Structure 1
Amino acid sequence: MGGGSAEWIAPDVATGKSDKFDISDVSPTAGFVWPEGAGPSGGRRKLSPQWARGLDVLITVAGLIVATLLAAALAIIEALYSPLRIGGVRAPVSLLMALVTNPLLGWFAFTTTRQRFAGLLPAAAWCVIWILAAGRTSEGDMIITNNNWVGLLTLLVGAPVFAVGIYVSSMRERIAPRWPSGPASGSSSSSSSRPAGG
């Protein structure tokens, strides 16, 4: 054995000679039949179409539920923080939270469902909470008063910004397939660089 190659010496009993065979290129699994569901691939199996559709529906419903609950929870927090003052001046914490989180909720709803109108459900939950916060309680209290510009501005711009996340997600989905993939572009460039006569 030498030169980095693997050899097997087969003795011949009749003649007393030995023949050498190079086995460096022989696969260790040559001639072996793997049982069904096993093998070098790790035994991965594809889901049946019924299971795939069921899983897709489950992800869609779960995404809508999570987005709606998050929207309602964030709306409550933002409404409670709308009267916040720092040093006697109203702090637009609720407005900033709505401008950041509402587009993310719209993006999340669209990404999990692949439906443009899926963002309407968390947007509706957010609006319901804020409309209730703008009204009077049974004791006559109001969270969002007429002089609370933070609450009024958040209520005004909070719902439309849900569409921002949906719009950005849909545009990215349209643009992404137009870009060529890495191997395809590499093969095209290599083929174009070859001389015409070759």
Structure 2
Amino acid sequence: MSQADTGARRRVPAARAAGEETGGSAGSKEIAVSSPQTGDALPGETAGGDERPTVEVTPGREPWAGAEPLIRWGGLVVAVLASFVSGVFELLLTTLRAGDVVSVWSGDAIGSGGGPLLGLSIVLAAVLNYGIAWFAVTTTRRKWALGPPWALWTLLMLLGAGVRTSEGDYLLGGENWIALVMILVGSLTYAVYSYRLILKRTLP
């Protein structure tokens, strides 16, 4: 069989059909499959041979080298300030009584109301000190960052023991068991967190 003008034909032997004509010799039928013309792409191929489209990738901008030190020192400053604010607030609440819920709204000082002392400062010392310790270590990625807020909080408690209120009473008097328990719980909170860091040997 002759070839086509526009391209070569390739012959594929077809399956021998059952019931061929009587007297026919054992032959094979052929199916002509036209090959694609020059320049046409076969399925799965791209035009022009093995060429593939190129994709340009723009490299991302490198992070600023000073970001990490800034976060660390900023976290330490925030932790120290939070320790100072929480310490002052807890000192003021050591004299909080049940009757202050009404008297404070009237403009009276904390502790001027009647009733028993409330241990709100104890709860705040445990919760806030633990949160400050976690924040200081997590943001700075340094275990020693626990020291400055701990030392400042302890110093505030020592100073509070020598400060007198407007009525002439000591802010942390010996008869105020709330203040004594608050100092103990607050210091133990820092100590327990520090001890856990030593045992785990890994930063949170």
TM-score range, shorter chain: 0.5 to 0.7
Q: Deviations over 1:169-191 (max 9, x none)?
A: 56556399xxxxxxxxxxxxxxx
What are the within-5 Å matches in structure 2 for residues 1-198 of structure 1?
A: 18=36, 19=40, 21-23=42-44, 30-34=52-56, 38=58, 43-47=59-63, 51-52=64-65, 54-86=66-98, 88-137=115-164, 140-169=168-197, 171-172=199-200, 174=202
Distance 1:31 1:130, change over 3 A: same
Report the residue type matching 2:95 in the other structure: P
Distance 1:91-1:145 versus aligned 2 partners, 3 A rule: same
Question: Aligned equivalents of 2:146 and 2:35: distance in 1?
Answer: 81
Q: Which moved more, 1:87-96 or 1:154-163?
A: 154-163
Q: Taking structure 2 as the reference length, what is the TM-score of the superposition? A: 0.61
Larger Rg: 2
Which amino acid letter does the alignment assign opposite residue 44 of structure 1?
G
May I ask how many residue pairs the two structures share in their alignment?
Answer: 151
Q: Would the aligned equivalents of 1:116 and 1:170 in 2 still touch at CA under 8 Å?
A: no
**SS of alignment partner, residue 89 of structure 1:** coil
Q: Which amino acid aligns with 2:172?
A: I
- Name the counterpart of 1:6: none
Sort the Cα spacing of 1:164 and 1:44 in 2 relative to 1 into closer, same or farther, 3 A.
farther
Write the distance in 1 (CA, Å) between the matches of 2:93 and 2:144. 29
The gaps in structure 2 that reach 5 residues or longer are: 1-5, 8-33, 47-51, 100-114
The CA distance in 2 between the partners of 1:135 and 1:174, in whole Å, is 39
**2-structure distance, mates of 1:103, 1:66:** 14
**Pairwise CA distance, 1:119:** 0.8
Residue 131 of structure 1, CA deviation: 1.8
- Larger helix proportion, structure 1 or 2? 1
Cα distance in structure 1, aligned partners of 2:203 and 2:165? 51
Unaligned runs of 5+ in 1: 1-13, 177-198
Instruction: Report % sequence identity.
Output: 32
Normalised TM-score (structure 1): 0.63
CA distance in 1, matches of 2:163, 2:87: 17
- Tell me the alpha carbon deviations over residues 17-65 of structure 1, each in whole angstroms, 9 at most, x when there is no partner: 855533599xxxx422416xx2xxxx52333xxx43x222211111110
